[in-house]
């Protein structure tokens, strides 16, 4: 996505923290990027990036850059990358699924703006010992996703990699200017919704890395959620066309982190109803068997790629009824936007506790 380079791809838990004994902190008075963190680093470079604003509507700071208008429509542009050894483990993910996921995470950014994806550019840096049949399988996955969503693969670049496989995807979408949804529109009193169950991908990652054990068919369900995420393009378009929502984001880094982005951009806070967090039966069963709370994963687990959006209180009931009748998926009410800053979790009995907006951070 334009606002957060590398945002939204949860790296393997076995690789995240690097080799044992890595020293933290500053050396020689110079700050390391791991001390600053991904999102603070992005804030530090965000100023002074726009030099020609004639057709620029939104640059850094959202799921897509917005350019135009061209008539009634605007262009949406987003980019994400996946790096072997950081975002996926080579040899552990079928290449066709990897191709599908590379497309899906970018289409999700366009969906989060309420737009329609149209064109895609794909660049690869490939190790010279890569097997051609695996690369063909990767492109089968890419083309299958493009075909399903009516997206044209228009080109890209291919280079040699001296390390692992590097995948970079750029997607161009479009939408009506007045229907585009941003992160900064949430207002106190708005109801907070999500489009589907949460935490399944995080559960799949735990199974993938051996942290959890489980039997079929539940194990395959969670692994598929991690390796083959589904972008909620139709839901995003439905929400945008309703013109009822005030803000929207896709859940790439987890509710805690991504709702935190909405709250920060909108200058608001939020209360999350813990018991309302939707989790699948498969996740609940496997989490309990492995001694973890499924709803905790729903709060902090990344890579679900659901849409989180806000709707004003006075429109929420009618919107929910209409969505349940005509919408392409289930939606769940999980909380309320507040005037007070910060995110709080409301547990059974009304007990509240602060929730840090900590989610996945490439350098955290």
* pLDDT single digits (tens) 252-262: 999 999 999 99
Residue 28 has a pLDDT of: 52
pLDDT beneath 50, residues of the chain? 2-26, 360, 363
* pLDDT single digits (tens) 299-345: 999 999 999 999 999 999 999 999 999 999 999 999 999 999 999 99
∠ Cα 19 23 25 (to 5°): 135
CA-to-CA separations, 57 to 50, 64, 77, 133, 177, in angstroms, rounded: 11, 11, 12, 42, 10
Strand partners, 269: 338, 342
Residue 8 has a pLDDT of: 40
Taking residue 176's Cβ as centre, other Cβ atoms within 10 Å add up to 17
- Smallest CA-to-CA distance from 276 within 190, 184, 191, 181 is with 191
Q: What is the DSSP letter of 301?
A: -
Residue 30 has a pLDDT of: 83
CA-to-CA separations, 107 to 56, 139, 334, in angstroms, rounded: 21, 16, 24
Ramachandran category for residue 305: left, alpha or beta (phi over 0 → left; psi -120 to 50 → alpha): left
- Smallest CA-to-CA distance from 354 within 342, 362, 364 is with 342
| Tokens 């693969």 belong to residue | 153
Residue 351 has a pLDDT of: 93
What is the distance, to the nearest Å, from the Cα of residue 71 to the centroid of all Cα atoms in its chain? 30
Are the C-beta atoms of 84 and 90 separated by less than 8 Å? Answer: yes
Which residue ranges form the domains of the chain, and what is each CATH number? 33-179 (3.30.1330.10), 191-355 (3.90.650.10)
Residue 14 has a pLDDT of: 33
Q: Which residues of 146-157 are buried (b: 16+ CB within 10 A; e: fewer)?
A: beebebebeeee
Residue 316 has a pLDDT of: 98
Residue 246 has a pLDDT of: 99
């Amino acid at each position: 996505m334009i606002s957060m380079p590398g945002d939204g791809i949860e790296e393997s838990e076995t690789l995240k923290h690097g080799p044992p004994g890595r020293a933290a902190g500053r050396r020689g008075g110079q700050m390391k990027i791991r001390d600053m963190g991904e999102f603070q680093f992005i804030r530090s470079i965000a100023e002074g990036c726009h030099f020609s604003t004639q057709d620029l509507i939104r640059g850094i700071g959202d799921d897509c850059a917005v350019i135009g208008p061209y008539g009634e429509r605007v262009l949406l542009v987003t980019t994400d990358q996946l790096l072997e050894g950081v975002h996926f483990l080579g040899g552990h993910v079928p290449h066709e699924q990897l191709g599908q996921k590379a497309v899906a995470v970018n289409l999700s950014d366009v969906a989060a703006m309420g737009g329609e994806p149209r064109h895609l550019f794909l660049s690869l840096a490939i190790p010279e010992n890569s097997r051609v049949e695996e690369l063909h399988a990767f492109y089968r996955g890419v083309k299958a996703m493009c075909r399903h969503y009516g997206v044209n693969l228009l080109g890209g670049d291919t280079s040699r990699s001296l390390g692992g496989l590097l995948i970079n995807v750029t997607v161009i979408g479009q939408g009506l200017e007045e229907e585009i949804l941003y992160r900064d529109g949430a207002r106190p009193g708005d109801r907070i919704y999500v489009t589907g169950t949460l935490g399944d991908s995080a559960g799949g990652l735990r199974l993938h890395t051996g942290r959890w054990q489980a039997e079929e068919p539940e194990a395959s369900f969670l692994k598929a959620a991690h390796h083959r995420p589904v972008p909620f393009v139709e839901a995003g378009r439905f929400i945008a066309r309703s013109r009822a929502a005030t803000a929207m984001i896709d859940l790439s880094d987890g509710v805690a982190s991504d709702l935190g982005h909405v709250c920060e951009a909108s200058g608001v806070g939020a209360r999350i109803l813990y018991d309302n967090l939707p989790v699948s039966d498969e996740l609940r069963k496997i989490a309990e068997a492995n001694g973890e709370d499924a709803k905790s994963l729903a709060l902090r687990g990344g890579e679900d790629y659901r849409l989180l959006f806000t709707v004003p209180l006075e429109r929420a009931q009618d919107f929910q009824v209409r969505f349940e009748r005509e919408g392409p998926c289930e939606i769940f009410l999980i909380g309320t936007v507040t005037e007070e800053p910060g995110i709080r979790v409301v547990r059974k009995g009304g007990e509240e506790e602060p929730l840090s907006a900590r989610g996945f951070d490439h350098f955290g």
